[in-house]
Amino acid sequence: MKSTFLAAALAAGLAATPAMAQTAPAVLFDVGGKFDRSFNQAAYEGAERFKRETGVQYSEFEITNTAEREQAIRNLARRGASVVVAVGFSNRAAVETVAKEFPNVRFTLIDSVVDLPNVQSVTFREHEGSFLVGMAAALASRTGKVGFVGGMDVPIIRKFHRGFEEGAKHANAQVEVFMNMTGTTPAAFRDPTRGAELARGQFDRGVDVVFAAAGATGIGVYQAAKDAGRLAIGVDSNQNHLHPGTMLTSMTKRVDVAVYEAMTQARAGTWRPGARVLGLREEGVGMAIDEHNRRLITPEMERRIAEARQAIIEGRIVVTDVTAAR
């Protein structure tokens, strides 16, 4: 009875999207929803760009609990999508299972890897972008103490943390880096209240710049920074506009480009399976400077960060990837 109810609910959710041709793409958003202002929203913006440019609608589904993943992906595949884009590392097992069931359907998985002939896996060198914002944090800090608030305690979030820490210490060898993870389940990516609490705890210990790699949880971190007159760093999407004056910068991760390219390639017939890794060299990650944070990034800070960026691209600085095979 439970599985029948779940299948019906998923079908109803998919039916709510506009009618489309059999060759239209589909996207599955992860927990936190497509308007999390961070990771999922970047994916949404990529899909919306595809729709604007082509006039082709796409199917979508937003995960609210882990039990939905496999059935949601299966239903999207059954509808004849040109490509099913699954956003988030938590979808890896579901993609692997369903891709075997539908060998003629293309799947693009964001943030994890599945080695199958009909799966394209797109991952990012988050540690490289995090290195740059770690430098920015240390250079902007007046206390010599910076903080990191992660979402779910998993290797990919540890990857953000290590890059941030190494960047901060590259800029200031004496800087102290504080770290807290929000939780051990996917709910850790959608808990702004807890994010604010963790940020305030770090502020009480002298931190004056905090980087949140925590999806929608980061919204609470940024608000806490604004309330305390401290600085915050956004993640995935450019979040500088959320609180101009207290958002030091954002570590951008071009999930939007990965989604857009998967959809356009499927439409053009140029989609290919296999693994793609996007870092600073490929402009898959970066650090956002715009009108909202321009006055917070001094010319000297920008010069030093630009030099480090080039050194990473050329291999003269190697940022630790904690997820690399040992």
**What does the domain layout of the chain look like in residue ranges?**
2-124+255-278, 126-253+293-314
Domain 2-124+255-278 has CATH 1.10.10.10: no
Mean pLDDT along residues 256-278: 96
Residue 168: which of 203, 144, 192 has the closest Cα?
144
Fold matches, 2-124+255-278 and 126-253+293-314: yes
CATH of 126-253+293-314, one of 3.40.50.2300, 3.30.1180.10, 1.20.1440.120, 3.40.640.10: 3.40.50.2300
Phi, psi dihedral angles at 286 (to 5 degrees): 180, -165
Token pair for 262: 């998967």
Confidence of residue 234 (pLDDT cuts 50, 70, 90): very high
Longest Cα–Cα distance in the chain: 63
- Residues 179 and 175: their CA atoms lie apart, in Å, by 13
Q: Which residues pair with 159 in a beta bridge?
A: none
By the 8 A CB rule, do 111 and 101 touch? no
Kindly state the helix (H) or strand (E) to which residue 174 belongs, with its residue range: none
For position 294, what pLDDT does the model report?
Answer: 96
Asked if pLDDT for residue 74 goes beyond 50, the answer is yes
Distances 197 to 105, 216, 218 between C-alpha atoms, Å: 44, 14, 11
Q: How far is CA 104 from CA 101, 117, 120, 259, in A?
A: 9, 10, 13, 20
Report the pLDDT value the prediction gives residue 249, as an integer from 0 to 100. Answer: 98
Q: What is the pTM of this model?
A: 0.86
Each residue of 260-289: b (16+ CB within 10 Å) or e? bbbbbbbbeeebebeebebbbeeebbbbbb
What is the CB-side half-sphere exposure of residue 120 using CA atoms within 13 A? 21
Nearest partner of 159 among 113, 128, 194, 189, judged by Cα: 128
How many CA atoms lie less than 13 Å away from 40 in the CB half-sphere?
A: 23
The residue count for the chain: 326
Rounded percentage of the chain residues whose pLDDT exceeds 90: 86
* 139 closest CA partner among 223, 38, 248: 248
Q: What is the mean pLDDT of residues 112-123?
A: 97
Is 18 a residue whose pLDDT tops 50? no
The kind and range of the H/E element at 208 are none
Using left for φ > 0, alpha for ψ between -120 and 50, and beta otherwise, residue 80 falls in: left
Question: How far is the C-alpha of 223 from the C-alpha of 193, rounded, in Å?
Answer: 10
Supply the DSSP symbol for 22. Answer: T
Laid out side by side, the sheet with 84-87 consists of 59-62, 26-29, 84-87, 107-110, 119-124, 274-278
Beta-strand relationship, 176-183 and 209-213: unpaired
Residue 9 has a pLDDT of 39
CB contact burial 116-140 (16+ within 10 A = b; e otherwise): eebbbbbbbbbbbbbbbbbbbbbbb
Per-residue pLDDT band at 24 (split at 50, 70, 90): very high
pLDDT band at 198 (very low <50, low <70, confident <90, very high): very high
The answer to whether the beta carbons of residues 257 and 46 sit under 8 Å apart is yes
Alpha-carbon torsion (283, 286, 287, 288), positive or negative: positive
User: Given a cut of 50, is residue 8 above it in pLDDT?
Assistant: no
